[in-house]
Amino acid sequence: MIIKFLSLESARDSLLILEAPILTDLSCRLHYQHNRVIYEPEGSSEELSLGKGLFWHVLRRIEKVYGDVGRYTDPSERPFIKQEYDLVRKGRASVPMQKYVNLNDRLLKSYLAFLSRFYKEKNKDNRNENAAEDKSDDGHHGSAVQYDIAGLQECSQRIHDGEVVAESKYQKDKGLYNELIASSDREGLLACLTVQEVEDVILDKIKDYLQANHHMHPSLSADKGRSFFSEVLIPLTKDVEVEYLLARYGQR
């Protein structure tokens, strides 16, 4: 696994670039109802026409095309679904995926949980009669899936760019990190990798951005956008950092 060394400031800047598109796609997704049927297990052709399992159906097909053209030979990319790819671009070596940290399963679980919480609160605030079970469905299944997948791909890139951040931090204090890695001290690594002041600055910027651009993101409040980063993306980014350091330097 080869990670290009960047300054810590440059590594953090690479994360900041993705914040606006993530917030845009999340806001667009929240414009529609929950449409829970699209997240059910993939159904038959007839059931798909009614939306059942549409998210998984589209995600699988999109990633198959991306994989066939070599997207996942790029070490910065991660698929959500494990499947075989037929590389159509000759001369590109396959990347041994097991060597790379891939926390997309955790990301997807956390993202879907965030959606569930959001729509339960929304329905409760609107006194929706379906609030207890959250059966809200507006029929816009295709659009919901479109923004789900676009946003998840950006979120995946954002959290896995944590590898670059982790490498930058490691290079600044190899002795300390090697000691923690040797003892597989995940909690110690997490504590060393966490810079609360930087996280607070990021979260404040997100809140300020959404407040200043509410007309562009009417479905996503500043507090909810901040919560998405504080509860989902930042913790997962740090998990990537920990797993990356253990995978890269733990078995030398």
The CATH code of the domain that includes 174 is: 1.10.590.10
Is residue 1 included in any domain, yes or no? Answer: no
Task: Give the number of other CB atoms < 10 A from CB of residue 201.
Answer: 12
Report how far apart, in Å, the C-alpha atoms of 15 and of each of 11, 136, 150, 159 are.
Answer: 7, 34, 17, 8
Q: What was the pLDDT predicted at 59?
A: 96
State how far the Cα of 191 lies from the Cα of 5, in Å rounded to an integer.
22
- What pTM does this model have? 0.88
Is residue 178 included in any domain, yes or no? Answer: yes
Is residue 53 included in any domain, yes or no? Answer: no
Task: Give the number of other CB atoms < 10 A from CB of residue 39.
Answer: 20
Is residue 85 included in any domain, yes or no? Answer: no
State how far the Cα of 43 lies from the Cα of 159, in Å rounded to an integer.
31
Name residues whose C-beta falls within 8 Å of residue 184's C-beta, 6 or more positions apart in sequence.
246, 250
Q: State how far Cα 237 lies from the chain centre.
A: 9
Is residue 50 included in any domain, yes or no? Answer: no
Is residue 184 included in any domain, yes or no? Answer: yes
Q: pLDDT tens digits, residue range 9-53?
A: 554 555 567 899 999 999 999 999 999 999 999 878 888 888 889
Domain span holding position 132: 8-35+102-249
Is residue 70 included in any domain, yes or no? Answer: no
Q: What was the pLDDT predicted at 94?
A: 45
Contact 195, 218 (CB under 8 A): no
Q: What was the pLDDT predicted at 131?
A: 53
Is residue 179 included in any domain, yes or no? Answer: yes
The two three-digit tokens of residue 228, written as one number:
């998405």
Q: What was the pLDDT predicted at 47?
A: 85
Backbone angles phi, psi at 155, to 5 degrees: -65, -40
Q: What was the pLDDT predicted at 187?
A: 97
Report how far apart, in Å, the C-alpha atoms of 121 and of each of 10, 25, 54, 117, 118 are.
Answer: 38, 20, 24, 6, 5
Number of structural domains in the chain: 1
Give the residue ranges of the chain where pLDDT is below 50: 1-5, 11, 90-98
